[in-house]
Chain A
Amino acid sequence: MTTLALDRPFKRPTTRRKVRSTLVRVLLYICLAAVAVFLLLPFFWMVVSSLKRDIDVFSVPIQWIPDAFRWEHYQEIWGVEPWKGSSMLDWLRNTLILSVVVTFLQVLTGSFAAYGFSRIRFPGRDVLFLGYIATIAVPWQAYMVPQFLLMSQAGLVDTLWSMIVLQAFGAFGVFLMKQFYETIPEELSESARIDGLSEYGIWARIMVPLTGPAIASLALLTFVNTWNDYLGPRIYLRSPENFTIQLGLQLFRSNPDVATRWDLLFTGSVLSVLPIAIIFLAGQKYFVEGIATSGMKS
């Protein structure tokens, strides 16, 4: 915890302090590097496996460096159709549409509802909120059949719409945003109210801008969860042209007798992780340097 104060030197540091802080920094880097290796190991394994021959992917003990690097897998994967009429490009497109729409709806409706739960007092509010959280406690496998019946009656099975409506209105976003709204002092909204702003105005012009990091993390987490979901699309999306990336990749191994292509499966897995990594890197400053803090500095 000593390093907490490092970024905020209120007193001029003495030379001894400087030496100490450099030492701490070096140690910190060593620690972080070790942790990073540990964290990235499976990803590294995925990359290595994507460059191996299929039959060499699983071996005892693990082969960390392949005999030959088969980069051609990264070209091959775009042309393969493990299920006729459905290839990597289609899966990526579907997954992207789904993730973007779901994230947008989840963030919008979630943060809107969270305002109702955290800032407006009305009878039954807490019970309703608890009900929201409680539904998170029910494993999806237990109610997916009743849900499937409903969706089937509505004619939504085997459309991307089914996945959108299924994932966009979860309780997760409401809960998360409510927790962040509670960190914003009530006085802010009150002074805005005195200035004649409506509750909707307060949400749009005060709460949303002040919870930038929260919105960014909610968006990222929703995006990732939608991107990586397997069981939901598995049940609802039947036609290969509607497949998401996770469904598509499983096609490389779904016929255990003949068609297992672990090499391509991991090639696809590496490719499917990249967009998320890019979004994460690009979104960095929003997660950490929220507008709340930057506003305070000025």
Chain B
Amino acid sequence: MSEVVAEAALVEGKTQAGVRYRAKDKTPRSRRSKLRLRNTLLGWSFIAPNFIGFALLTLLPILALFYVSFTDWNAFGQANWIGLDNFRRLFTKEPNFEIALKNTLYYTVLHVPLTMAASLGLAILLNRKLKGVTFFRTAAFFPYICSIVAVAVVWNALFHPEYGPINEVLRFIGIDDPPRWTVSKEWAMPAVVIVGTWREMGYYMLLYLAGLQTIPREQYEAASLDGASSWQQFLYVTWPGLRPQTFFIAVMLTIGSMKVFDLVLVMTDGGPGTATLVLSQLIWNKSFKETGQFGYASSIAVVLFVICLVFTLVQFFVNKRNQK
């Protein structure tokens, strides 16, 4: 195996990353369809082990969910087709839908860029040979593995309007009337975003760290020899080299933010009032917590899905374009 690796390294050293596979251009026309069939079978043989489990346990229930969103299903008995009634009700008679949608988007817009910047910063900071770096990397990952109850308690104490350390610092630097954080309508969501970012940055840092290893050192050496500054190295070597990870993280973070649930539940439970009520919570409330209206709750999930899909498609095409 080591020979293969050594050989691989040799090839990698010589070629530029990102050159596309053009095998089919060399193939004679007559054999194209045969190759296509062969490739299809080959491709599916790779995908099948995962796909069978995925289709049965995830795809099937999700398709059922789409069907259910057009019915009055209440988790028991028959599901009667009611057409667009659920969606009509959602858009005209659900006082909290617009609020939850706005809150969810607000959370996403703040949380995604913040977390990406923080996790990339941490990854670059900790991607070096430094005494104790192992400890710091582990520490960065701790918020993600810590019990969420503990996270909520400690952060709520930090945010405490009267004797929380955060407000004490703010008063010390001259802000006489600091925010009331989790007990104010304006600041509850930013507070949740801060905790969300703090909690997840270690998680995404790990992916960026792994991504940094895939960038050949030769590229830095070449850039350095050309007299590129550190910032230029970041801009022309690191950032383009991390494109696949950035795409992955952007997509996962956006979807994860749109689906945010347990963090809000333990931090503020949607309050005060409806200041931090989000879509997943609305889904949970309408299905399990309140009246078992699974058909109706499914229609909210479908709306959430469509929004996520639009976001993902945009990111997909931006990524495709940058790839070329």
Tell me if chain B binds chain A. Answer: yes
**Which residues of A122-155 are within 8 A (CB) of B?**
122-123, 125, 128, 130-139, 141-147, 150-151
Give Cα A104–Cα B254 distance, bound, in whole angstroms: 27
B58 contacts A170, CB within 8 Å?
A: yes
List the interface of chain B (C-beta within 8 A of A). Answer: 1, 4-9, 11-13, 15-21, 23-24, 36, 39-40, 42-47, 49-54, 56-62, 64-65, 68, 75, 124-125, 127-130, 132, 134-147, 149-151, 153-155, 157-158, 160, 163, 198, 202-203, 206-207, 209-211, 213-214, 216-218, 220-221, 224-225, 230-231, 233-234, 241, 244-245, 247-248, 251-252, 255, 258-259, 261-262, 279-280, 283-284, 287-288, 294, 297-298, 300-301, 304-305, 308-309, 312-313, 316
B130, B147, B230, B305: the one contacting A137 at CB < 8 Å is B305
Give Cα A189–Cα B20 distance, bound, in whole angstroms: 12
A281 contacts B138, CB within 8 Å?
A: yes
Proximity string of chain A (94-137) to chain B, C-beta cutoff 8 Å, 1 when within and 0 when not? 00000000000000111011011101111101001011111111
Would you give 12 A-B contacts (Cβ < 8 Å), ordered by A? Answer: A8-B221, A142-B300, A143-B65, A146-B65, A176-B207, A199-B42, A224-B145, A277-B138, A280-B137, A288-B210, A295-B6, A295-B8
Of A67-75, A78-86, A215-223, the one with at least 4 CB within 8 A of chain B: A215-223
B57 contacts A165, CB within 8 Å?
A: yes
B214 contacts A292, CB within 8 Å?
A: yes
B214 contacts A180, CB within 8 Å?
A: yes
Q: Given A45-B153, A132-B54, 7 other A-B contacts at CB below 8 A? A: A5-B224, A113-B47, A139-B304, A142-B298, A142-B304, A224-B145, A273-B147
A134, A146, A224: the one contacting B61 at CB < 8 Å is A146
Closest 4 pairs (CB-CB, A-B): A116-B46, A169-B53, A137-B308, A142-B301
Q: Is A46 an interface residue (CB 8 A)?
A: yes
Give Cα A272–Cα B33 distance, bound, in whole angstroms: 55
A245 to chain B, nearest CB (A): 11
What B residues does A179 contact at CB under 8 A?
A: 244-245, 247-248
| Contacts known (A43-B142, A266-B147); A150 close to B57, Cβ less than 8 A | yes
What A residues does B158 contact at CB under 8 A?
A: 41
B50 contacts A113, CB within 8 Å?
A: yes
A168 to chain B, nearest CB (A): 6
A134 contacts B248, CB within 8 Å?
A: no
B135 contacts A36, CB within 8 Å?
A: yes
What A residues does B65 contact at CB under 8 A?
A: 138, 142-143, 146
| Contacts known (A8-B221, A276-B145); A171 close to B36, Cβ less than 8 A | no
Give Cα A239–Cα B58 distance, bound, in whole angstroms: 24
- Interface of B, secondary structure class, is helix
Proximity string of chain A (250-282) to chain B, C-beta cutoff 8 Å, 1 when within and 0 when not? 000000000000000110010011001100110
B69 to chain A, nearest CB (A): 9
B24, B57, B138, B251: the one contacting A133 at CB < 8 Å is B251
B145 contacts A293, CB within 8 Å?
A: no
| Contacts known (A4-B233, A138-B305); A185 close to B17, Cβ less than 8 A | yes
B11 contacts A298, CB within 8 Å?
A: no
| Contacts known (A39-B202, A43-B142); A185 close to B11, Cβ less than 8 A | yes
A209 contacts B12, CB within 8 Å?
A: no
What A residues does B221 contact at CB under 8 A?
A: 8, 10
Beta-carbon nearest neighbor of A58 in chain B: B153
| Contacts known (A113-B50, A122-B36, A171-B58); A46 close to B147, Cβ less than 8 A | yes
Q: Is A22 an interface residue (CB 8 A)?
A: no
A189 to chain B, nearest CB (A): 8
What A residues does B255 contact at CB under 8 A?
A: 136-137
B248 contacts A213, CB within 8 Å?
A: no
Give Cα A193–Cα B252 distance, bound, in whole angstroms: 33
A8, A42, A210: the one contacting B5 at CB < 8 Å is A210
**Which residues of A141-192 are within 8 A (CB) of B?**
141-147, 150-151, 165-166, 168-176, 179-180, 182-192
Give Cα A27–Cα B297 distance, bound, in whole angstroms: 52
| Contacts known (A40-B139, A115-B46, A209-B4); A145 close to B75, Cβ less than 8 A | yes
| Contacts known (A134-B305, A136-B255, A179-B245); A145 close to B36, Cβ less than 8 A | no
What B residues does A146 contact at CB under 8 A?
A: 60-61, 64-65, 68
B5 contacts A291, CB within 8 Å?
A: yes
| Contacts known (A62-B157, A183-B17, A187-B19); A36 close to B210, Cβ less than 8 A | no
Beta-carbon nearest neighbor of A113 in chain B: B50
A61, A116, A214, A266: the one contacting B150 at CB < 8 Å is A266
B53 contacts A168, CB within 8 Å?
A: yes
| Contacts known (A143-B62, A296-B217); A209 close to B5, Cβ less than 8 A | yes
| Contacts known (A10-B221, A138-B305, A168-B53); A180 close to B45, Cβ less than 8 A | no
A59 to chain B, nearest CB (A): 10
Beta-carbon nearest neighbor of A187 in chain B: B15
What B residues does A119 contact at CB under 8 A?
A: 21
B163 contacts A61, CB within 8 Å?
A: yes
What B residues does A40 contact at CB under 8 A?
A: 139, 142
B276 to chain A, nearest CB (A): 17
Beta-carbon nearest neighbor of A171 in chain B: B54
What B residues does A276 contact at CB under 8 A?
A: 145
A43 contacts B150, CB within 8 Å?
A: yes
